[in-house]
Amino acid sequence: MESWLKRSGASGLDDFELVDFSDTGRGIRTLRRFEEGEEILTIPHSVLWTVKHAYADPVLGPALLSAQPPLSVDDTLATYILFVRSRRSGYDGLRSHVAVLPDSYTSSIFFTEAELDVCAGTSLYTITKHLVHQIEIDYKELVVRLFRQHHELFPRDKFTIDDYKWALCTVWSRAMDFKLHNGDSFRLLTPFADMLNHSIEVGQCHSYDPMSGKLSISAGKKYEPGDQVFINYGPVPNNRLSRLYGFVVPGNPNDSYDLVLATHPMAPFFEQKHKLWKSAGLDSTSTISLTLTEPLPSSVLRYLRIQRLDESDLADVTLRHQNEAALEKINDLNEVEVLKFLVESISSILDGFGTNLEKLEEQLAERFYTPAGNAWSAAHVSLGEQRVLRLTRKTAKDLLEAVENRNGNNKAFLSTTDQCALCNKFSTQLMRCGRCNGAMYCGRACQVAHYREHKAICRAITANNSSRKG
Ligand SMILES: C[S@@+](CC[C@H](N)C(=O)[O-])C[C@H]1O[C@@H](n2cnc3c(N)ncnc32)[C@H](O)[C@@H]1O
């Protein structure tokens, strides 16, 4: 592979060697010293695995073009890799790259039931179950749309579902993504540079030049001869690392939990609330990432404030904040309801975890799981998600306490059952009907609007009161 890359114009390869490291597995070791920021490796455009190159291939391209609807980026790259791997001749350079790819992967889609059970309750657990099922569906579609139509190009025994899973994992664990100036994202695989392992101790040090099409790696820190060279795969939490790359970073500072907030379309005032969510940059189903650095993003509160609006607040908010719905607290009652709901919901999510945080910490300390094995990775994922969720719950509890304290001893305010007879608004400052002293209103407008309906009962109560007095 190296000689093919050099012939194609790659530079810097002579400064490195491939080595098996005890902690990260195979990676790249430097043979010389590098200063931080120095460009250390460049790989030319012609050898990259890209969707464009797959379509430009004279044999594979026409087949890909015939597939309707077109294949996704990952399916195109996976098919391209399997296609090259299946060829007996030609594609020598690319085949030399395929020859050094791992034989198998440890992505969570390959976890046994027992291994996956270690992280029961996590988003990894749910997504992995879904993914395994989705991959089967996608594979069947690929067979119908492409493999069967061109069976001479895609021999059955080289394009099995296991081959497809292997190729997908190759893409997930080795692809690099770049944003182009026009906002499009661009996915590619780079021979040799895809041997670089991940470390959060270096910043992003891989770049793509859209003009030359060259992929470059710079030194993310100072290196001495013999050091392993790393790149940073990005701020990836353990649940994602496990799913896409098949490894985890213990104590990962990027750990997160994807909170799904959803409201049933049959819920009261759904349409009005839907508009408010939209104007607040949300949707009626929103997935929001909770992280260790931001355990309670404002978007979660914004969503729940709208979800829990009662009829009168809803009219108020719709009038006042059309373009900035629920950016701020709506009122103390709504805020307390939101925070109480959040604390309860997070508690029940945490209750759904198969093994709780303390137990997992104990198990990991006692080496109950084989280090770096699948169950060990699953335990770290669960640990990370539970840490984030506990932090979210603590933040919500602190906020709740602050709102309740602000209302001092008047906690009754927050649990008042006094309601406006017309708009149902809860308040401690309702005015009573001056005649019957029974019905309560939040203001003159509601009292006037309610009078026709209230008149009969008001007269009856007043008559009753005066006859008793008499
Ligand atoms: C882009 S490849 C890097 C080269 C890879 N080690 C190889 O032998 O082909 C990504 C894979 O390397 C491994 N890897 C990368 N960084 C790692 C790390 N910090 N710890 C453990 N494994 C790591 C994982 O298996 C991951 O899926």
**Which tens digits make up the pLDDT trace of 299-338?**
999 999 999 988 888 877 776 655 565 567 888 888 999 9
379 CA from centroid of ligand 1 (Å): 19
175 CA from centroid of ligand 1 (Å): 12
- Res. 466: pLDDT tops 60: no
196 CA from centroid of ligand 1 (Å): 7
- Identify which of 19, 24, 176, 202 to mutate to test ligand 1's pocket (most ligand atoms within 8 A of the CB): 24
Query: Residue 463: which pLDDT band, with cuts at 50, 70 and 90?
Result: low
d(CA 13, CA 3): 9
Whole-angstrom CA distances from 243 to 174, 179, 195, 238, 270 are: 13, 22, 19, 8, 35
Q: State the pTM of this model.
A: 0.83
Whole-angstrom CA distances from 80 to 68, 101, 138, 328, 330 are: 17, 14, 16, 50, 54
- Identify which of 23, 28, 192, 245 to mutate to test ligand 1's pocket (most ligand atoms within 8 A of the CB): 245
- Res. 3: pLDDT tops 80: yes
> Mean pLDDT score of the chain, rounded to an integer?
91
d(CA 24, CA 191): 19
Quote the distance between the C-alpha of residue 467 and its chain's center.
Answer: 69
With beta carbons less than 8 A apart as the criterion, state whether 281 and 289 touch.
no
Which atom of ligand 1 lies at the shortest distance from residue 230's CA?
16
- Res. 243: pLDDT tops 60: yes
Neighbouring-strand partners of residue 260: 287
25 CA from centroid of ligand 1 (Å): 7
Q: What 3-state class would DSSP assign to 68?
A: coil
What sections of 175-307 are H helices per DSSP? 238-240, 270-279, 298-307
461 CA from centroid of ligand 1 (Å): 80
- Res. 418: pLDDT tops 80: no
With beta carbons less than 8 A apart as the criterion, state whether 307 and 289 touch.
no
Cβ neighbors of 234 (< 8 A, separation 6 or more) are 204
Q: Which one has a higher pLDDT value, 422 or 198? A: 198
Residue nearest to atom 9 of ligand 1 (CA): 195
- Domain extents in the chain: 2-102+150-240, 256-411, 431-469
238 CA from centroid of ligand 1 (Å): 14
- Architecture of the domain made up of 2-102+150-240: Alpha-Beta Complex (3.90)
Q: Which amino acid is at 27?
A: G
Ligand 1 site residues, Cβ closer than 6 angstroms: 24-27, 102, 173-174, 194-199, 245-247
- Res. 15: pLDDT tops 90: yes
What sections of 225-373 are H helices per DSSP? 238-240, 270-279, 298-307, 311-320, 332-351, 357-365
Residue nearest to atom 20 of ligand 1 (CA): 24
12 CA from centroid of ligand 1 (Å): 21
236 CA from centroid of ligand 1 (Å): 14
Torsion, CA 306, CA 309, CA 312, CA 315, rounded to 10: 10
Q: How far apart are the first and last CA of the chain?
A: 107
| pLDDT, tens digit, 9 for 90 and up, residues 108-166 | 999 999 999 999 999 999 999 999 999 999 999 999 999 999 999 999 999 999 999 99
Q: What is the mean pLDDT of residues 247-274?
A: 94
Residue nearest to atom 8 of ligand 1 (CA): 26
The 3-state DSSP composition of the chain as helix, strand, coil percent (nearest 5) reads: 50, 15, 35
Q: What is the mean pLDDT of residues 51-69?
A: 97
Place of tokens 């508009």: 275
- Identify which of 247, 249, 252 to mutate to test ligand 1's pocket (most ligand atoms within 8 A of the CB): 247
Range of weakest confidence among 146-150, 256-260, 412-416: 412-416
Neighbouring-strand partners of residue 259: 288
pLDDT score, position 414? 47
Over pLDDT 90: what percentage of the chain?
A: 77
Residue nearest to atom 22 of ligand 1 (CA): 24
d(CA 21, CA 28): 9
194 CA from centroid of ligand 1 (Å): 9
How does DSSP assign 117-182, residue by residue? HTTTTSHHHHHHHHHHHHHHHHHHHHIIIIITTTTTTS-GGGS-HHHHHHHHHHHHHH-EEEE-TT
Strand (E) or helix (H) holding 26 = strand 25-30
pLDDT score, position 460? 63
Residue nearest to atom 4 of ligand 1 (CA): 195
Report ipTM for this prediction: 0.99
d(CA 61, CA 54): 6
| pLDDT, tens digit, 9 for 90 and up, residues 200-235 | 999 999 999 999 999 999 999 999 999 999 999 999
With beta carbons less than 8 A apart as the criterion, state whether 29 and 16 touch.
yes
Omega prior to 265 cis, within 30 of 0 = no
- Give the CA count within 13 Å in the CB-facing half-sphere of 446: 17
pLDDT score, position 413? 47
197 CA from centroid of ligand 1 (Å): 5
**In the CATH hierarchy, which top-level class contains the domain 256-411?**
alpha beta
Q: Which of 38, 61, 434, 23 is nearest to 249 (CA)?
A: 23
Which atom of ligand 1 lies at the shortest distance from residue 26's CA?
8
Which atom of ligand 1 lies at the shortest distance from residue 173's CA?
27
